[in-house]
Amino acid sequence: MTLLSVNVNKVAVLRNSRGGADPDPVQAARVAIASGCHGITVHPRPDQRHIRVDDVGRIAAALDGVEYNIEGNPFAPARGAYPGLIELVRQARPAQATLVPDGDGQITSDHGFDLRRDGERLRPLVRTLKALGCRVSLFMDAGSPDIERAAEVGADRIELYTGPFATAFAAGDASVELAACVASAERARAVGLGVNAGHDLNQRNLPVLKRAIGFLDEVSIGHALFGEALYDGLATTVRRYLAILEA
């Protein structure tokens, strides 16, 4: 069964655009959990432009039997109130840490790791995170030559960056990008890695990806899910995604 982790970053974006405490990503997480999702994802960045450091701990305290997934760049140093990804994980003890090579200049994550360049830097960090009890996933491009290296670095899973697939799907022909996702997932599984997927997945393209990669462990969805929830309600939208994954 493929699990659904709901990324609540967009709720924090809306809150921060006005200031104050509303809407609260903690309450959004509670609604998603009550609607049946299997996990909650946050992606705190050093500039705290959406999920803030205090949100990470508040959400951890609100989880009710579902997994917590904290995403972030393990190379980003501590800055101001941001203590660094490793320290955030040490404090919150999520089930999973997803490592992503993003920077402040990126509006959103838009590429995976180059493990030929970064593998040796990642290896001790992965070891530290696993010692904290976390499953570790590395954000990887579909078609990357480095898929197998993720296992060598010590990761438990990869998360396929599905942005190019989603873009191609919206344009009307996702066959090439879908094939790249499938091949990368199969390569990962062949070396003992689990496979997650995320970025720009929605109710239209997710069924296609799920049918093509039946062994997906988890999808992390936020932007599209909360966009759809504006019209249909959060609880209803979460249940629709679950129905897709359970079909």
Find the catalytic residue in 38, 50, 177, 199: 199
Partners of 70 in beta bridges? 42, 97
pTM over 0.85: yes
Calculate ∠ Cα 53-54-58, nearest 5°: 125
Say whether 71 is catalytic: yes
Say whether 199 is catalytic: yes
Domain around 210: 3-246
In 3D space, the residue among 116, 119, 111, 177 whose CA is nearest the CA of residue 141 turns out to be 111
Find the catalytic residue in 43, 50, 159, 228: 43
Structure tokens at 175: 């066959």
Structure tokens at 42: 């946050």
From first to last of its 247 residues, the chain has per-residue pLDDT tens of: 999 999 999 999 999 999 999 999 999 999 999 999 999 999 999 999 999 999 999 999 999 899 999 999 999 999 999 999 999 999 999 999 999 998 776 667 778 999 999 999 999 999 999 999 999 999 999 999 999 999 999 999 999 999 999 999 999 999 999 999 999 999 999 999 999 999 999 999 999 999 999 999 999 999 999 999 999 999 999 999 999 999 8
- Buried b / exposed e over 9-36, threshold 16 CB at 10 Å, is bbbbbebeeeeeeebbbbebbbbbbebe
Find the catalytic residue in 71, 159, 218, 228: 71
Structural domain tally of the chain?
1
Say whether 186 is catalytic: no
Note the Cα 114 to chain centre separation in Å.
18
CATH number, position 88: 3.20.20.70
DSSP calls for 115-168: HHHHHHHHHHHHHHHHHTT-EEEEEEETT-TTHHHHHHHT-SEEEEE-HHHHHH
